[in-house]
Amino acid sequence: MKSIFSEDDVIYAVGDLQGCRESLDELLEIIPRSAKLIFVGDIVNRGPDSLGTLRAVKQMCEEGRAMTLLGNHDLHLLAIAAGAGEVHRKDTLTDILLADDKEEMIDWLRCQPLLITMPGFVFVHAGIAPQWDLKTARKLAKEVHMELASDHWKDYLKGMYGNDLFQPKAKGVNRMRSILNGFTRMRYVDQDGRLDFDEKGGIGTAPEGLTPWFDYPRKVKRTICFGHWSTLGLMMRPDTIAIDTGCLWGGALTAIRLHDRKIFEVRCPQWAAPGC
């Protein structure tokens, strides 16, 4: 999906919120009201106020102030709402599932994209599989978007969980899983560029033979901005921006003003133990 913002807008990318509404409110206090925001996914879950956070982001998007991506925790919420997943012990999604406006929020959330583009930048939750060029990534993201926005979205999400690797000719649930994995779950890849689903530590902690996906030769030439990888933390390179700085774990909630890469952040309470 192309960004809805104009070339004259001042745009900030914002890291994973994970239900930390208090930290979001503090961050918004140090960002101009006129700013446009792109949230890189994982709006909900594990933090203390998933319901309030989802409502706040939804309102900003409907006002034209923000856009958001789907992260793996957002997809988990959709799967539960579809009857294709179960609430886990550490989830903080029950308030959403019991809310009077649950259906409205779920219908809005499932229509959000996996990928946002603007001149010079691509925004995703976790990354873009190294085998995909931008044309392919756009096509695959649109494929999922159309399914989730359709009337049969609940059937589409059945069997969502699984460590499938992308195969161009794959169909059905295997194709759905592999596309979602390539946008929302990746961290490391092996020597052949295949996603690894086990290693979650920061750079330098992975076993021999694994490489951060952004260090593997890739086909997307724009700067890729993503979240998801809290143990990686803030990273800014000419072609890569990582902005999940562990808000949930007592780290920070970070926003990057894109045109000059200035950092805005607020320190956060610890709501969960790192790695949970």
Spans of the chain below 50 pLDDT? 276
Residue 204's pLDDT is 81
CATH of 11-267, one of 3.40.50.620, 3.40.50.10540, 3.60.21.10, 3.40.50.300: 3.60.21.10
Q: What is the model's pLDDT at position 207? A: 86
For the chain, give every domain's residue range: 11-267
The secondary structure of the chain as a DSSP string is: -B-S--TTS-EEEE---TT-HHHHHHHHHTS-TT-EEEE-S--SSSSS-HHHHHHHHHHHHHTTSEEE---HHHHHHHHHHTTSS---TT---HHHHHSTTHHHHHHHHTTS-S-EEETTEEE-SS---TT--HHHHHHHHHHHHHHHTSTTHHHHTTT----PPP-TT--HHHHHHHHHHHHHT--EE-TTS-EESS--S-TT-SPTT-EEGGGS--S--SEEEE---TTT--EEETTEEE----TTBTSEEEEEETTTTEEEEEE--B-S-TT-
